């Protein structure tokens, strides 16, 4: 199974895997691969940056997620969202809170 992986500068360490079931036969025309994402999710993520193309059949394991879970989600819904570890999420929330407080008193 082939997929493309995107990252989002607005969300550190969040990655979205997009299924490419017809790869390489789907490369003739430019397509919005992120169109499979629900509208609200896509809007909240901000601008995507292509990171890499990956053949999961050739990959034994992934760094932070179970490859079988990724493949199941890609089959079922066409995408998989890899969220940051909880310690990173906490640090991001604290930074946003501090920035919000700093902006409030400027």
> Which CATH number do you get for residue 35?
3.10.510.20
User: What's this model's pTM, rounded to 2 decimal places?
Assistant: 0.78
Query: Looking at the predicted structure, is the pLDDT value of residue 90 above 80?
Result: no
Domains contained in the chain, number: 1
Burial class (CB in 10 A: 0-12, 13-18, 19+), 88: middle
pLDDT band at 26 (very low <50, low <70, confident <90, very high): confident
> Domain range for residue 93?
2-104
List of residues 6+ apart from 49 with CB closer than 8 A: 6, 7, 8, 9
């Amino acid at each position: 199974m082939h997929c493309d992986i995107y990252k989002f500068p607005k969300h550190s360490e969040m990655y979205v895997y997009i299924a490419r079931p017809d790869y390489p036969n789907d490369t003739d025309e430019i397509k919005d691969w992120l169109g499979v994402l629900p509208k609200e999710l896509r809007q909240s993520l901000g601008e995507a940056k292509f990171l890499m193309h990956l053949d999961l059949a050739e990959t034994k394991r992934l760094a932070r997620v179970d490859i079988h879970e990724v493949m199941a989600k890609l089959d079922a819904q066409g995408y998989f969202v890899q969220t940051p570890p909880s310690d990173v999420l906490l640090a991001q929330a604290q930074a946003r809170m501090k920035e919000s407080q700093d902006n409030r008193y400027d």
